[in-house]
Amino acid sequence: MGKAFRSDSVGSAGIAAEIAAIEQRDDAQEPETVRCPVGECPVTYAVYNYLFSDREANLASLMYGLKIHHPNHPMRAVLNEPRME
């Protein structure tokens, strides 16, 4: 718990700035590409900033969110945003 995934269009100015900031960190990860989990849906997402130490749980929570977005998902990038609880 304590993690929330937020998704947004890669083209939007807000997320572009956020991704640029992530990529400039010393500990920047390569984004991981994942497919929308619904059927043969070709939409892919670039996942930034998940925790390697909790990768399986992070991706499982992400997949749950992507199923909700389908088929209207305009989103292409997903960032793992820490949430204080």
Written as one letter, the residue type at 72 is: N
Decide: is 36 part of the binding site for Zn ion (CB under 5 A): yes
Comparison of 14 and 71: residue with beta carbon closer to Zn ion: 71
The CA-atom distances, in angstroms, between 49 and each of 16, 39, 40, 41, 72 are 14, 26, 26, 24, 24
Least separation in angstroms between residue 37's CB and Zn ion is 8
Comparison of 8 and 54: residue with beta carbon closer to Zn ion: 8
Among 10, 16, 22, 38, binds Zn ion (CB under 5 A): 38
Which residue reads 């718990």 in tokens?
1
